[in-house]
Amino acid sequence: MKTSRSRPEDAGQFIKDPLGHFLAMPWAAALLLDPATTAIVVPDRKPLPSGARSLVNCILNSATTVRACVSYWQSPQLLAQRSAESQLSGATEPASAGGRHGNHVSSRQALLQESGPKIKEDTKTQPCLLFNALLDIGEQMSGFEGTLHGGATALFIDEAMGSVAGGKSPFAAVTVQINTNFRKTINLPQVLLVRARVVKKEGRKIYVRASIENKDGNIMAESDGLFIETDDGRTKL
């Protein structure tokens, strides 16, 4: 499948070429160039005249906070098809960067297949694309010394969930509830992968799952969330 790319000449991020930055990392490049990837986006971090999104665009956009961000979308149908073909052939998806890509594949499949204790996959609202974002996090995002603040972890999850929920709605989607399980300490500085997917939609209610992984594919945090559609704009990571 052909992958579309949105790569502005100047996205206003601290690292001037965020996509090139992540493509230089073998494990991140393997994720971005996965055949199931349908779109790659370099988010624009330039300040808005209204002052909206100043937390993400300004405060969390520096050498010591969020140095670079690239998001990409994947088709769950293509991912499931490749997984089924691999099982039939007895093969596994190719690993790269010391086997890390294989770990990310397992984590990705878990997010696609699991819908939380009270949420079941609603095939009537499919297809729901899998949203992913690579973040290069600096050392001043800490709570305890050298570790990512739990509030920042929740913020990254909320942003990813808002992006995928907004993409599922003709309007915007705002956060109602997020339940997060902090599974492992996230050391800093570090490059992280945030994933999110809509698992169910009931009227204006949008149910979302998300996770944060490290470069080895280990899940550091995971969440279930509920968003509500509004009619005053869209959300983006």
Average pLDDT, the chain: 84
Question: What is residue 2's predicted lDDT score, i.e. its pLDDT?
Answer: 57
Give the model confidence (pLDDT) of 215-236 as tens digits.
999 999 999 999 999 876 555 5
Question: What is residue 69's predicted lDDT score, i.e. its pLDDT?
Answer: 98
**Percent of the chain, pLDDT > 90?**
61
Question: What is residue 231's predicted lDDT score, i.e. its pLDDT?
Answer: 74
**Distance between CA atoms of 157 and 201, rounded to whole angstroms?**
19
CB 12 within 8 A of CB 61: yes
Q: Who's near 156: CB < 8 A, 6+ residues apart?
A: 133, 135, 192, 194, 212
Assign domain 4-230 to a CATH class: alpha beta
DSSP secondary structure string for all residues of the chain: -PPEEE--S----SSS-HHHHHHTSHHHHHHHT-TTEEEEE----SPPTT-TTHIIIIIT-STTSEEEEEEEEE-HHHHHHHHHHHHHHT--PPP-TTTHHHHHHHHHHHHHH---TT----GGG---PEEEEEEEE-TTSBSSTTBB-HHHHHHHHHHHHHHHHHHTSSSEEEEEEEEEEE-S--BSSEEEEEEEEEEEEETTEEEEEEEEE-TT--EEEEEEEEEEEESS-----
Q: Which residues of the chain have pLDDT under 70?
A: 1-4, 6-8, 80-128, 232-237
Question: What is residue 111's predicted lDDT score, i.e. its pLDDT?
Answer: 61
CB 236 within 8 A of CB 216: no
Give the model confidence (pLDDT) of 10-30 as tens digits.
899 999 999 999 999 999 999
Neighbours of 162 (CB within 10 A): 24
Question: What is residue 188's predicted lDDT score, i.e. its pLDDT?
Answer: 98
Give the model confidence (pLDDT) of 193-204 as tens digits.
999 999 888 888
Q: How many residues does the chain have?
A: 237
Question: What is residue 8's predicted lDDT score, i.e. its pLDDT?
Answer: 67
What would the two tokens of residue 206 be? Answer: 């949008």
Q: Which residue ranges make up each domain of the chain? A: 4-230
Rg of the chain's alpha carbons, rounded to an integer? 17
pTM of the model: 0.83
